[in-house]
Structure 1
Amino acid sequence: MRSKKTFNGTGLAFGARAAGAVVLLCALGLIAWNERRVMDYAAALARHGSPVLDLGSGGRPAAGQYGSTTRVSGTPQIVDAPRDGEFNVRSESPVLIRHVEMFQWREITVGGNTHYEMDWVDHPIDATGFAKPAGHVNPGAFPVQGRQFEAGEVRLGHFRLDTEIVRDFPGRVDVPVDEKALPANLAATFTAHDGVLVTSSKPERPRLGDLRVSWEAVPLQAMTVLAQIEGDTLVPAKSHRPGESGFDVQVGDRTLLDVLPALPEPPGAVIPVRGAAYLLAIAGALLLASGGRFRRDMLFAVGVGVVVVSAVAGAMWLAGDAMAASVWLLFAVLGAGLAIWRVQQHGHRPAH
């Protein structure tokens, strides 16, 4: 007749194994759920278009990135600052803009009444088209033209930026002029007044034909750029649709979802969930082994746990991503090797 102690021991061992089977099934369900949401996210990205690399501020050019769209953020670095050589004006910014205005007659018609006034205008006004051109003739073409100057090289993080992207940088700040830096020929014509150059002998009372020259620059500030990788340079996408720029520029450190709101949201805590699945599988294997020769054998439990979790994940990835499947199956092989080694170790132990 079996003793009560033996019966209780058998019952406890059976209960532990049953619990181990449940825990192991939970681990398999957890890894299956986790990999399914990762696969669904990858499929949604594929439907959206080409994959988007989220490199942020620390990403570097690397092999295999050519042609990929990426998000890069940070404060631009100016390698070769723009300079207006004609006026000897320079600015540590991505873009320097020269504005030229002339004091001219303007025709204004309100409610059928036409009147004329003089104001600063950034383009020549043809007075021959005025209703009353007499007494309102403008000088004509500007002797100095407005221009834009881009930095010779602008970098964002570890990438160079294409000139077309730099030109799209938002924001403008005034660049005050230094009269002492003007070339001699221009210093005889222009006078600094309130941070700009004017040809007026009395800047507060300009006359017809007087010029006003000022500069603006794109400020250095945190930026986020979404563009295509071409070597070590970010360029507009070659395959962008008509009417689109092929890139996006936003002020500040913006997330990928901020830049591409239509992009599916990535699953959270993917790595921690994988780790939890492994821990559950190892715990289940330990419980299943209770009462047998592998009880309390942590290495055997680790091997079994790694095998079952990795094999399930690898099998799920086989149809969609051979590279991911091969990595998972490699872990399964390593786990199987560890478990087999422990079986052999137990087999070589002398019987008691």
Structure 2
Amino acid sequence: MSAAGMGARQWIAGIVGALLVLAGLGLVATTEQASIEHRVAAERHGGQVLEVQGDTRPDIGKNHYMVRVSGRLNVVDAPADPEFGQQVATPVLLRHVEMFQWREVRVAGDTHYEQDWVDRPVDSSRFERSAGHANPGAFPVQGKQFDAGLVKIGGYALAPALLHALPGGERVSPDMKTLPANLAASFSRNGDYLVTSANPAHPRLGDLRVSWEAVPVQVLTIFARPQGDLLVPATDAPDGKGYDVQVGDRRLVDVLPDVPEPPVFAVARRLLAMLLAGIGVLLLLSTRMSAHDALPIALGAGVLLAAAVAGVMWLGKDLQSSAYWFVLAVAGLGVVVWRLHARAAH
């Protein structure tokens, strides 16, 4: 080959090599930037997020990770209202108690009184005209909340704070067969209510009305911190909440819309970035040394360059990740130095 042809070949190899090195560094930079943005945003909500599939539980050790798990709730130990003998397969059972009482209603300066079901004692002594509108006072039966002993989703149990955050509610018809005899003598069923009214269509002052509400068993997506086999809120999360619960199988971007998705195929992109940088260095060296010497130097240089860029980008964001990258960069540098020393010795 003529000197001109050789020069042109070297020039083209140099240009292509430089472009490949830049492409590799650009690829690793964009990959790490996306990872950093995802990590920083996720930290506001408690930490790095792991996607959990099925009943598997990732081994996270003592690190502060969050998980996103979707599935249908499984009520293992159903709650019961022992006073009324009611038990329902639900995460949370609520007993509502109302009394038929006087209410003071003021409209445009006019005050009038009416009787209605109210879920708390109304202090009639504070009425403008209390005479003839006296209420009975304290309820003989109180409203209460009963939590299931164990509710699971995927491979995790739910802590009480997450049980109380479960959405929705549906009225439950009372089971008269399980109602204790002393209460069965006082209460009768009226639709989904138990009432003390002799005539439910025309309740009297002081009559009680009791009903139950159950949180539905449904498909949910829960974002929380795992503690062994228990999901709990991340109390140290900067967002002040540290968990989320949504109906249906929801993606992480739906649960945390301010958290960008992590880069797709991040590991493959990092390996490709090192490979592109290595091929670029190989082309730059191809006219200066034999392939036997150039190949290991190029591969080591590709790892060195890509890892150094990634390590610098993680500085100030995650020192552990930055350290991993710098260790990899040193390993690449070691390969380059070793091969150059071996070449010089010959």
TM norm. shorter chain > 0.5? yes
User: Aligned partners of 1:189 and 1:273: how far apart in 2?
Assistant: 72
Once the 2 structures are TM-superposed, how far is the Cα of residue 197 of structure 1 from its aligned partner?
1.3
The question of 1:215 aligning with 2:212 is answered: yes
| Aligned CA distance change for structure 1 residues 111 and 45 (closer, same or farther; 3 Å) | closer
Once the 2 structures are TM-superposed, how far is the Cα of residue 94 of structure 1 from its aligned partner?
1.6
| Aligned CA distance change for structure 1 residues 310 and 278 (closer, same or farther; 3 Å) | closer
- The worse-fitting range, judged by mean Cα deviation, of 77-86 and 273-282 is 273-282
Once the 2 structures are TM-superposed, how far is the Cα of residue 95 of structure 1 from its aligned partner?
0.9
TM-score (norm 2): 0.76
User: Aligned partners of 2:23 and 2:127: how far apart in 1?
Assistant: 84
1:251 to 222, 237, 247: 247
> Matched residue of 1:128: which SS?
helix
Structure 1 match to 2:164: 167
> Matched residue of 1:18: which SS?
helix
> Matched residue of 1:92: which SS?
coil
2:133 to 136, 154, 162: 136
Equivalent residues of 1:31, 1:309 under 8 A apart: no
Structure 2 match to 1:325: 326
| Aligned CA distance change for structure 1 residues 128 and 286 (closer, same or farther; 3 Å) | closer
Once the 2 structures are TM-superposed, how far is the Cα of residue 111 of structure 1 from its aligned partner?
2.5
Equivalent residues of 1:65, 1:229 under 8 A apart: no
User: Aligned partners of 2:270 and 2:60: how far apart in 1?
Assistant: 28
Whichever of the two has the greater Rg, that structure is 1
Instruction: Provide structure 1 residue ranges, at least 5 long, that are not aligned to the other structure.
Output: 348-352
User: Aligned partners of 1:245 and 1:278: how far apart in 2?
Assistant: 40
Letter in 2 for 1:55: L
Once the 2 structures are TM-superposed, how far is the Cα of residue 179 of structure 1 from its aligned partner?
1.8
User: Aligned partners of 1:129 and 1:290: how far apart in 2?
Assistant: 96
Once the 2 structures are TM-superposed, how far is the Cα of residue 192 of structure 1 from its aligned partner?
1.8
The question of 1:72 aligning with 2:65 is answered: no
Structure 1 match to 2:48: 53
Equivalent residues of 1:17, 1:288 under 8 A apart: yes
Once the 2 structures are TM-superposed, how far is the Cα of residue 261 of structure 1 from its aligned partner?
4.7
Structure 1 match to 2:276: 280
Equivalent residues of 1:83, 1:149 under 8 A apart: yes
Equivalent residues of 2:104, 2:111 under 8 A apart: yes
The question of 1:307 aligning with 2:304 is answered: no
The question of 1:34 aligning with 2:30 is answered: yes
Instruction: Provide structure 2 residue ranges, at least 5 long, that are not aligned to the other structure.
Output: none
The question of 1:109 aligning with 2:102 is answered: no
| Aligned CA distance change for structure 1 residues 228 and 6 (closer, same or farther; 3 Å) | same
User: Aligned partners of 1:142 and 1:41: how far apart in 2?
Assistant: 55
Letter in 1 for 2:127: F
Equivalent residues of 2:46, 2:65 under 8 A apart: yes
| Aligned CA distance change for structure 1 residues 224 and 185 (closer, same or farther; 3 Å) | same
User: Aligned partners of 1:96 and 1:84: how far apart in 2?
Assistant: 8
Letter in 2 for 1:310: V
Once the 2 structures are TM-superposed, how far is the Cα of residue 103 of structure 1 from its aligned partner?
1.5
User: Aligned partners of 1:141 and 1:25: how far apart in 2?
Assistant: 80
Structure 2 match to 1:350: none
> Matched residue of 1:323: which SS?
helix
Once the 2 structures are TM-superposed, how far is the Cα of residue 312 of structure 1 from its aligned partner?
1.3
- The worse-fitting range, judged by mean Cα deviation, of 281-290 and 218-227 is 281-290
* Percent identity between the two aligned chains: 40
CA-to-aligned-CA distance 1:164-192 (integer Å, 9 cap, x gap)? 22212221111122222222222222222
The question of 1:181 aligning with 2:178 is answered: yes
User: Aligned partners of 2:248 and 2:120: how far apart in 1?
Assistant: 34
Once the 2 structures are TM-superposed, how far is the Cα of residue 249 of structure 1 from its aligned partner?
3.4
TM-score (norm 1): 0.75
| Aligned CA distance change for structure 1 residues 62 and 135 (closer, same or farther; 3 Å) | same
| Aligned CA distance change for structure 1 residues 210 and 36 (closer, same or farther; 3 Å) | closer
CA RMSD across the alignment: 3.9
| Aligned CA distance change for structure 1 residues 239 and 29 (closer, same or farther; 3 Å) | closer
Equivalent residues of 1:227, 1:237 under 8 A apart: yes
> Matched residue of 1:124: which SS?
coil
User: Aligned partners of 1:328 and 1:93: how far apart in 2?
Assistant: 54
| Aligned CA distance change for structure 1 residues 96 and 70 (closer, same or farther; 3 Å) | same
